[in-house]
A and B are shown apart, each in its own frame.
Chain A
Amino acid sequence: MARPPVLALRGITKRFGGVQALVDVDLQVRAGEVVALAGDNGAGKSTLVKVISGVSPADRGLIEWEGRLVQIKRPHDAHALGIATVYQDLAMCDNLDVVGNLFLGREIDRVGVLDEVEMERRARDLMRTLSIRIPDVRVPVAALSAGQRQAVAISRSLMGAPKVLLLDEPTAALGVEQTSHLLDLIEEVRDRGMAIILISHNMGDIKAVADRVAILRLGRNNGLFDVSTVTQEQIISSVTGAADNAVAHRSKGDEEAWP
C-alpha cells in the first residue's frame, strides 16, 4: 500500500465547446495492478484515454508520474514517460506482416537496411514469452483473427517497455474464447509489473482481471470499488446513476488510494 501510484490524475477537467467532457476526475494506478475504467457511452472514458495518451491534453488538472508532476501535451510526451496505448481500432497496417507491424516506426536496421532476421527472432521471442498463439509471424495481420490482432497490438505496445498500458475496449470485438485468451494476456502483462488501465463496459471482464474499478458518469468520478468486494449490481448502479450518492464509495476508495 505504501507504493506511490505510477500514474495519478487529479482534478482533470476537459471541455469541448460548451460540453463538459471531464470534470475534476481523479484516477490512479500502481505497478502490477489492473484498474478498470467503466461508464456509460459518453461518460468520458475515451476523453480520459486521450488525455492520458496526450492525443488531446486536459484543460485543467494535475498529472503525477511516479510521484512527480509531469505534463502530457503530446503523444510523444506520454510515450517518453512510458505510457502505451492500444486504441480500439488497433491502428495496424493490414498489408504488413506481424513482424512489420510490431516494429513499425522502430525497425531494426543497419544503415537503413532492415534486419528482418533479427526482427523476426525478437518477434517470435515476444510471442513466446507472452504465450500468444500466432500461426506465423510472417502472415499479413489482415489474415489474423480479431483476437490475434488484438494480441499483436498489445504486444506491439509492449515493445518500448512501458510502465503503464492503456487498453481501450480490448474485448469489444472478441468472441468468448478469444476474450479469455486476452484476459490471460492482460494478467500475464500485469504480473510483469505493468500498471494497466482497462477501459471496458463488460462486467465479466472487469470482475475477471481488474483489481479496482473506477466509474465515470457524465464526466465525473462516480465511484471507485475494490473488485473483490463489490457486486455487479453496485457497479451497474454507479454506471447508470441509480446510485448517485457515490460519495460513500469514493471516500473509502480515496482513503486507500491516497496515503
Chain B
Amino acid sequence: MSRGGPRRDGVPAGPGSAGPVTARGERRTRGWQDSLREYALDVRGSVRGGERGPLLVIAGLIVIWIVFQGLDDKFLSPRNLSNLSVDIVGTGLVAVGIVFVLLIREIDLSVGSVSGLAGAAFAVLNVNHGVPEWLAVIVAVAAGTAVGAFHGVFHAWLGVPAFVVTLAGLLIWNGLTLYLLGASGTINIDEEGLVASLTSRHFGNHLAAYAVAALGTAGYALAAHRRRSRHRAAGMPYRSRGEVWLRTGLLAVIAFAAAFTLNRFQGLPLALLIFLVVLVVSDYVLRRTRYGRRVYALGGGVEAARRAGIGVERVRVAMFMVSGTLAAVGGLFVASGLTSASPTTARAAGSGMLLINAIAAAVIGGTSLFGGRGSPWSVLLGVVVIQSIASGMGLLGVQDAVQFMITGGVLLAAVAADALSRRAQARRGRP
C-alpha cells in the first residue's frame, strides 16, 4: 500500500507497459547511496505535500528526550526507559483499539471508562468472589467486547452518532464501575497473580530481548525480500536491494538498542512483548487481509464501500467491538500496574485522561481523525511520545494541574497538525 508517502522506488512505472522494463534496468544499477538520496527526496516531497511522515514525530521525540534529560539526568536511565516501556502498554493497547475506530472515521469516547470497568470487574470477581484469575480475565475482556458491541449496534443500526453513543457510554460504564466497587472500596489484587505479572514480569535472561530483536528484524527482512522477489518475478516495480537493506538496518539498530537498554535493567518486560505482538497482528490484519481492506474502504468512503457490497453496518459493529476489547485488555494492564482497583482510579478513568492519552497517541503517530489513514504502528510512536512527556513531568514533580494542561495542549497540537495536513492534501487535490 502506498499510504504514508511513496514507499516504492519512487520511479513512476510510466504510462502503459513501457514502465516496468526500463525501470527495472535502471533499478538494478542503483546502490544504497541512491536509495538514501531518493528516500530523503520522498520524505521531503511528502512533508511538503502535507503527509506527516514518522520522521517529524521521531525528531520531536528526540527533542523531548534531550530536554528532559537536560532537566533530569535520570530520564534516559535504563531504569526509567524500562519503566516507560511498561507504562506505555496500557494506554497503547487502548490506543490500538481507537485506531480501528478512527480508521472508519468514527470515535470511541468510552474507552477510558471501559478499561476502568474491566479492571474493576476483574478485581471484584477474583478478589471478592474467588473466581479463578483466568476466568475473571476472560469475563473482564468479554465485558469489554460486549460493551463495544452495544455501542456498535446503537451506532450502526439505530443511526445514533458514534460520539454521542460512546459519550453516554463513558458515563454509563464509569457509573457501573463505581457501583461494582461501591461496597468494597479499594480492592488490592494478588501481587503474585496472573494479572499483576502482566506488568511486573520481566524476562531476566538477556537472550530473550535479543532474540525478540533478532526475530523482528529477520521477519521484516524476510517479508521485504519475499515481497521484492515476487514483484520482480511478476515484472512489477520493486524496492531496490539497497533500500531493503537500509530499512532492515535501521530497524535492527533500533531493536537491538532497545534490547540492550532493557537488559541493563531487568530485561525484556512481558508487557512490551504482548504489546508488540498485538501491534504486529493488528497491522497484518488491517493491511494484508480482505477484512482490513474493508475497514480502510469504509474510512475512504461509506457510499463507495456500500456499493462495492461491503456490509457497512457489520464492519462498524466489529470495529467498536475491537475497540471495547482492547480497552478492556488495556484496563487490565492499568490495574496490573496499580495492583489495585479503586473508586479513585475509576473516577480517574472516567475523567478522560486515559481517553485523551490514547487518542493523542494514535493521532500523534499519524492516524487521521478524518478516517482511512493510519496504522496500528502509529500508536507505538505516539504513545512513546505521550508517555515520555508524562514520565518526564513525573520525574520533575510537575503538579497534576499543569500536567493536564500540557497533555490537553499536546492533543490539540496533534489534531491541528492532522487537520492542517488534510488541508494541504486537499489543496493538492488529495482529499
Contacts and interface: CB of A to CB of B under 8 A. Distances in A.
Interface of A: 75, 87, 89, 91-97, 100-101, 104-107, 109, 112-114, 116-118, 120-121, 124, 127-128, 131, 133-140, 142-143, 145
B2 to A, nearest CB: 5
Given A93-B300, A117-B230, A128-B17, A142 B290 contact: no
A101 B12 CA distance: 19
Contact of A95 (B236, B299, B429): B299
Nearest to A87: B307
B237 to A, nearest CB: 8
Given A92-B301, A128-B16, A135-B12, A97 B308 contact: no
B290 A107 contact: yes
Given A93-B305, A105-B308, A137 B13 contact: yes
B105 to A, nearest CB: 10
Interface string B365-407: 0000001110000000000000000000000000000000000
B16 A133 contact: yes
Contact of B293 (A91, A100, A124): A100
A40 B303 CA distance: 27
Q: Which 4 A-B pairs have the closest CB atoms?
A: A93-B300, A105-B308, A95-B372, A95-B300
B408 to A, nearest CB: 29
A118 B236 CA distance: 10
Nearest to A146: B429
Given A91-B303, A91-B307, A105-B309, A138 B8 contact: yes
B430 A93 contact: no
Interface of B: 1-3, 6, 8, 12-17, 230-231, 234-237, 288-291, 293, 296-297, 299-301, 303-305, 307-310, 371-373, 425, 428-431
A156 B17 CA distance: 19
Contacts of A106: 308-309
Nearest to A104: B308
A140 B429 contact: no
Given A96-B297, A117-B231, A128-B17, A142 B236 contact: no
A257 B201 CA distance: 81
Nearest to A143: B430
B304 A92 contact: yes
A131 B18 CA distance: 12
Contacts of A94: 300-301, 372, 430-431
Given A114-B293, A121-B234, A91 B288 contact: no
Contacts of A75: 307
A114 B290 contact: yes
B88 to A, nearest CB: 28
A127 B16 CA distance: 7
B418 to A, nearest CB: 14
A148 B12 CA distance: 15
Nearest to A145: B429
Q: Which of A94, A120, A133 has the most CB of B within 10 A?
A: A94
B295 to A, nearest CB: 11
A140 B13 contact: no
Contacts of A118: 234
17 contacts: A87-B307, A92-B300, A93-B304, A93-B372, A96-B300, A97-B1, A106-B309, A107-B290, A109-B290, A118-B234, A121-B235, A121-B236, A133-B16, A135-B14, A138-B8, A140-B2, A142-B425
Contacts of B429: 142-143, 145
A136 B230 CA distance: 18
Given A96-B297, A114-B293, A139 B431 contact: no
B39 to A, nearest CB: 17
* A89, A97, A100 pick with most chain B CB within 10 angstroms: A100
A12 B288 CA distance: 45
Contact of B289 (A109, A121, A124, A136): A109
Contact of A114 (B289, B308, B373): B289
A114 B288 contact: yes
Contacts of B290: 107, 109, 112-114
B301 A91 contact: yes
A124 B289 CA distance: 21
A114 B287 CA distance: 9
Nearest to B16: A128
Contacts of B297: 93, 96, 100, 104
Contacts of B13: 124, 135-137
B311 to A, nearest CB: 10
Nearest to A109: B290
A100 B299 CA distance: 13
Nearest to B303: A91
B289 A112 contact: yes
Contact of A124 (B236, B308, B430): B236
A79 B382 CA distance: 44
Contacts of B296: 93, 95-96, 100
